[in-house]
Structure formats: structure tokens, C-alpha cells
Amino acid sequence: MGEMMKKKSRWWRKGICLCLTAGILTGCQDADTKENVKSIRIGVTVYDQYDTFISQLIECFSADLSNKEKETGTVIHIEVCNAADSQTTQNSQVEDMLENGCDVICVNLVDRTEPTTIIDMAEKKNIPIIFFNRELVEEDLKRWDQLYYVGAKAFESGVMQGEVAAEIFQSDESVDKNQDGVFQYVVLEGEAGHQDAIVRTEYAVSTLMEHQVKVEKLGYGIANWNRAQAQTKMTQMLDQHGAEIELVLANNDDMALGAVDALKAAQIAREDWPVIMGIDGTDVGLEAVKQGELAGTVYNDKEGQAFAMLNLAYELATGGELSGLELEDGKYIRLPYAKVEQEDVEQYQNGEKP
């Protein structure tokens, strides 16, 4: 079997990569000047394709492609791979992408503390890497000048979640079910060690306190961003604390929806539900805000992140200018979050975010 065929069958056997353009697998031309580049190849690997937020971010990224092709006259080939929660799998996906002639690779790390293998391989081949959503530590990002990060400011989402919860507590007496002047809360946490999980919880709680809301933590459950796991954890907390729970702070919408599932399964009347807050503004999350099941969410700008990532990838692949991309420290692009409550949810659902 020829080398190309061998590679192809390895690719298919894994069954976890998807080619998003109908482009011909010719590899990419070398970029000497920007005008000469007629086709580029971008590799993308995600930690888990079933993560709701990540899958929607990738949808946005692919939706932006044809505009970028029209605007630049460049054919853009994309391969998206699912690392299925294995850093070893992700490392070999990046290795394949480097061998297959990708001009730039976008990596949603499985383990944000283990970027070394990827960085070393990419540096050897001189191919830039854009890490996204799962943030590596600054020291790692600074190890080579062709490493970038696209994401958001984790603390900002926690602050906004806390602000909305504080406003609800102060404007609606009925949420303080036992009328003791204290907001009794539970937390549904994302993956241990994920920058967004730790920071969102800390800032949501400290913001409530800064707004003079007295709080009491009744419990927490780590549910790894996952709706089903969150339902299980919430069911346990309901068994333990029942009607004492007045607020659920979930690190993302999927886990907030897991709490909703638990309340429904326990047949708790809607007027007795605690206030439930998410983060992300995924399609399902926004719909739950519209239906009043979630009191609010914080928009994690997947469209902005996808667009920034594509523009950065394009410039890096074509040897273009980075000056128009507003890179912080020459390496970071961080999109702002925004609060979403019932009165503005439709704007977000219609794609007209303010």
C-alpha cells in the first residue's frame, strides 16, 4: 500500500475526522506572497465533538468558511477531528495534520496542562498553532512565537452570572423561599482543572457578595459540563436539601439544563423551583431562558470566537498581516461575554446580539 493510501485508511479507521470542504486532497501550496496563495489547509481538533458549546462553535467556524473563500479567492480545506477526550489521540491527530500538509492547526486541548507534545511537533515543522477555548498556561503559550489563543475572559462570565443573580434576589422577594434574607445556593461545576470552571464559580459568588447579597453554600457537584451528569448531581442535592435550595449556579447551560431535568423528574412544581443560572447561550440554553426555565445565562460569543479564529488562521496560513486582529500581547484574542435575560433572549436567538 502506498504511503498516501496507508494514511488514508488510518484516517478512516479512526472514523473521527471530517473533511468540511469538497476540496481535492492535494495538500497546500507554499505561500511565498499572499497574492499567490490559492488554497490553504486548516486542521481543527476538538476535545469532544459532543460538547454542546464546542459543536456549535465549530458550526459557526464552518459557516464562515464560504464567505472567507469568496472574500479572499482562496480555497480553504478544513479537517475537523474529534479527540474523544484522549490527549494521546489528539497528539496523533496533530501529527497526521502536520504530515498531511496543514498550514495551521486549531487545537481545543483535551488536557490544558499537556500541550508540550503538540507544541514540539508543530515547532519542528514550523506550523503555527491556535489553541482555543481550553486555555493553556501563559508559560506554555510563550514557549514559541507561533502559538496563539482564542477564547474569552473566564472571570467576566462569573461576574455577569453573579450580577444577574444579585439583581433577581434584590428585586423579587419570592426567590428567598424561607425569607431569611440569605440566598442558599448550590453549584454545578465544569471539569476540575478547566480555567472556566474554577474561575466562574469564584467570581459568581464573590460578585453576589459584593452586591450585598448574603449567601450560603449548601452543596456542589462536579458534572464535567455535561447535562446528564448534572441531572444526577442535582437529584442528589435535591434529596439532601430539597426546598432549601434557592439558587443553582451552573458553570454552563448544559449543566443548568441538567438541573431543570432533575426538577422535572422530581415533579417539583415550577413555582417552587430555585433560580437557575447558566453560562454560554447555546441554542438549548437560550430557549430555556425564553421559556423561563433558566433565569438567565451569559453569552459566550461562539460566533465571535469562530470568526476570530478563522481570520487568524487565514492570516497565519497565508503569511499575512496580523496587525488588524487586535492580538493582546501578540498572542491572545478574547471575546467579551454578555448577560442574557428573558427580555433580550430573542435578539440572541435571531442572531442579532446587541
Binding residues for ligand BGC, rule: CB under 6 A, are 51, 53-54, 133-134, 196, 225, 252, 279-280, 300
Q: How far is the CB of 318 from ligand BGC (least distance, A)?
A: 28
Closer residue to ligand BGC (CB): 75 or 130:
130
Q: Compute the distance between CA of residue 194 and CA of residue 197 in angstroms, rounded to an integer.
A: 5
Contact 16, 84 (CB under 8 A): yes
Locus of grid cell 454545578: 188
Q: How far is the CB of 133 from ligand BGC (least distance, A)?
A: 5
Distances (CA, A) of 297 to 31, 148, 278, 328: 43, 28, 5, 27
Closer residue to ligand BGC (CB): 91 or 251:
251
Q: How far is the CB of 47 from ligand BGC (least distance, A)?
A: 6
Closer residue to ligand BGC (CB): 76 or 130:
130
Closer residue to ligand BGC (CB): 158 or 320:
158
**Integer Rg of the chain from CA:** 22
Q: C-alpha grid cell for residue 43?
A: 486542521
Amino acid in the structure at residue 8: K
Q: How far is the CB of 247 from ligand BGC (least distance, A)?
A: 19
Q: How far is the CB of 255 from ligand BGC (least distance, A)?
A: 8
Locus of grid cell 464560504: 66
5 phi/psi in degrees, rounded to 5: -65, -40
Closer residue to ligand BGC (CB): 280 or 293:
280
Q: How far is the CB of 24 from ligand BGC (least distance, A)?
A: 33
E-state strands within 270-342 = 275-277, 297-299, 332-335, 338-340
Closer residue to ligand BGC (CB): 54 or 186:
54
Which of these, 101, 60, 54, 111, lies nearest to 79 by C-alpha position? 101
Closer residue to ligand BGC (CB): 37 or 57:
57
Closer residue to ligand BGC (CB): 53 or 185:
53
Which of these, 172, 274, 244, 253, lies nearest to 213 by C-alpha position? 172
Q: How far is the CB of 223 from ligand BGC (least distance, A)?
A: 10
Q: How far is the CB of 155 from ligand BGC (least distance, A)?
A: 13
E-state strands within the chain = 17-19, 39-46, 75-82, 104-107, 129-132, 147-152, 182-189, 214-222, 247-250, 275-277, 297-299, 332-335, 338-340
SS (H, E, C) 90-153: HHHHHHHHHHCCCCEEEECCCCCCCCHHHHHHHHHHCCCEEEECCCCCHHHHCCCCCEEEEEEC
